[in-house]
Chain A
Amino acid sequence: MDVGIGEYLALASILFGIGAMGFLTRRNFLIQLMSIEVMLNSVNVMLVAFNRYQPSNHDGQVFAFFVIAIAAAEAAVGLAIVISLFRLQKSVETDLPSALKH
């Protein structure tokens, strides 16, 4: 059996869909952040798969490297916001915050 680029892209699209559905349907801030990580990872799979079929340069892998670095920064800031939100309203439910409404 042979694995072509299509299988990798299909896997990446499935992972992205799972992450997007989790982000949209869950009400837990922590799990929504984890869903974002799943989506970022699926994009990385796609970049690395495209790079595998154009192996005369490293563009896709370098891009995936930067995505990993930015994902780390995003997770740090997001979790700091989670802690701040928890101290303010003793819950991490994303339906509750309404201080910026109107």
Chain B
Amino acid sequence: MSTSNFVLFLVSGGLAIVGAIGTVASRKPLRAAVALLLHIIALAALYLTLHAELLAALQLLVYAGAIVVLFVFVIMLIGPAAEVPSNPRGKITRLLSLVVGGSVMATVSFALVGHTAPRLPMLRNEAGENIFGTVEGMGVAIYQQALVPFELVSAALLVAIIGAIAIARSRTPQEQAVVVERQAERIELAAARDAELAQATAKVGS
């Protein structure tokens, strides 16, 4: 692999780790969302070093374009309450989890770094062009080998959308009480207006 690929791996991998730490460690959710955006864009660059062009584009479209925006919408909707005050009770737990998680990560990555695998020839189409990771190659793979899961995923997305609307629209008992009260007020007002109208017409008639 060339030096430029190595530099791209270092830069995008480092930015991905920085973004992940920023996401997890920020006190303010909006900063966490921006760090998540950095993480996602860095991973899209990392996919390019792995010859996954279509996935890099999808990562930007779906994650940076949809999921992060959805997070930001919800943070804006919730407002200041989105920030949860940190509880001092969990300090020891937090330190312990950092030590345990950090040592596991260090061991695993120390064991893995330096291992390599033989480079096999890439997938080609009938014309002899390299189609590994391109739209053509992925399209063939999805529509020939994974057609049923692909259709099922579209159904799952539809169900998720309907479920999200149903969950977010449901009312709490207090909100339901307020709605019922307002309806009663509106009916009373309408009745009063009808009575006035009837009186006025009666006057005009006489």
**A11 and B168 contacting across the interface, CB-CB below 8 Å:** no
Q: A14-B17, A76-B164, A77-B164 are in contact. Are A53 and B24 (CB under 8 A)?
A: no
B191 partner residues in chain A, CB cutoff 8 A? none
Interface check B197, CB cutoff 8 A: no
**B164 and A55 contacting across the interface, CB-CB below 8 Å:** no
In angstroms, Cα B133 to Cα A54, docked, is 12
Q: A24-B97, A80-B163, A86-B81 are in contact. Are A5 and B116 (CB under 8 A)?
A: yes
**B164 and A35 contacting across the interface, CB-CB below 8 Å:** no
A79 contacts which of B3, B13, B23, B164 (Cβ < 8 Å)?
B164
B101 partner residues in chain A, CB cutoff 8 A? 17, 20-21
Chain B contact residues, majority secondary structure:
helix
In angstroms, Cα B175 to Cα A26, docked, is 30
Interface check B98, CB cutoff 8 A: yes
Interface check B153, CB cutoff 8 A: yes
Interface check B127, CB cutoff 8 A: no
A57 partner residues in chain B, CB cutoff 8 A? 123, 141
A38 contacts which of B24, B75, B84, B104 (Cβ < 8 Å)?
B24
Count of chain A residues near B, Cβ 8 A? 75
In angstroms, Cα B16 to Cα A4, docked, is 18
B204 partner residues in chain A, CB cutoff 8 A? none
B13's nearest neighbour on chain A, judged by CB, is A11
Counted as pairs of residues, one from A and one from B, with CB atoms less than 8 Å apart, the total is 250
Mask for B110-129, Cβ within 8 A of A = 1, else 0? 10111111111111000000
Count of chain B residues near A, Cβ 8 A? 95
In angstroms, Cα B52 to Cα A68, docked, is 14
Interface check B177, CB cutoff 8 A: no
In angstroms, Cα B121 to Cα A68, docked, is 27
Min CB–CB distance B139 → chain A (angstroms): 10
**Interface set of B (CB-CB < 8 Å, partner A):** 1, 3, 5-6, 9, 13, 16-17, 20-21, 23-26, 29, 32-33, 36, 39-40, 43, 46-47, 49-52, 54-55, 58-59, 62-63, 66-67, 70-71, 74-75, 77-78, 81-84, 86-87, 90, 93-94, 97-98, 101-102, 104-105, 108-110, 112-123, 132-133, 137-138, 140-142, 145-146, 149, 153, 156-157, 159-161, 163-165, 167-168, 170, 172, 175
Supply 15 further A-B pairs (C-beta < 8 A) apart from A4-B116, A56-B120, A59-B145: A4-B114, A10-B110, A13-B108, A15-B16, A22-B25, A54-B120, A55-B51, A55-B121, A61-B141, A72-B62, A77-B164, A80-B167, A88-B172, A92-B84, A95-B87
**Interface set of A (CB-CB < 8 Å, partner B):** 1-11, 13-15, 17-22, 24-28, 30-31, 33-35, 37-38, 41, 44-45, 48-49, 51-59, 61-62, 64-66, 68-77, 79-84, 86-88, 90-93, 95
